Structure 1
């Protein structure tokens, strides 16, 4: 699971926007995303189901992470 959902910077983070795009979540965020986190590690898992291949993108580590549980709920 992506650690972004509990981060204080989720609304402004460019890395989170990138991961959302990789998940084909093209919801337009009206807020300006200008925060660039430092020392991030993105993990991509490759899953195969029948003849289809799916990529699952997750942020596993970020030095800019500041925990604020439930912050993502305000994105809905």
Structure 2
């Protein structure tokens, strides 16, 4: 799971913006202004039906991470938290 959903900077972060783009998810911000320090993005390649291939992106570590439990949920109330 991406640690960004519980980070103070999720709506301003360029790394999370890239993850949103890879997932085809709507952006929390169109022009994020925070360049995070040393984000570590885990990429998983998965086999899908009919010979398709899927890619999952998750930020697993970041030097700029500051815990703000539930930050993503407060920014998008009523929406399911991305996993």
What is the TM-score with the length of structure 1 in the denominator? 0.89
Deviates more, 1:32-41 or 1:8-17: 32-41
Gaps of 5+ in 1: none
Structure number with the bigger relative contact order (C-alpha 8 A, sep ≥ 6) is: 1
Superposition deviation, residue 32 in structure 1:
4.0
Please give the alpha-carbon distance, in whole angstroms, between the structure 1 residues aligned to 2:57 and 2:29.
Answer: 23
Describe how 1:1-76 pairs up with structure 2 within 5 A: 1-25=1-25, 27-30=26-29, 32-50=31-49, 51-76=51-76
Please give the alpha-carbon distance, in whole angstroms, between the structure 1 residues aligned to 2:13 and 2:29.
Answer: 13
Contact kept? 1:13, 1:37, Cα under 8 Å: yes
Gaps of 5+ in 2: 77-83
The one-character-per-residue Cα deviations of 1:47-75 (angstroms, maximum 9, x if unpaired) are 00231110000001101000010000133
The one-character-per-residue Cα deviations of 1:32-58 (angstroms, maximum 9, x if unpaired) are 410010011111100002311100000
**What is the aligned length?**
75
Judging by fraction of residues, say which structure has more strand: 1
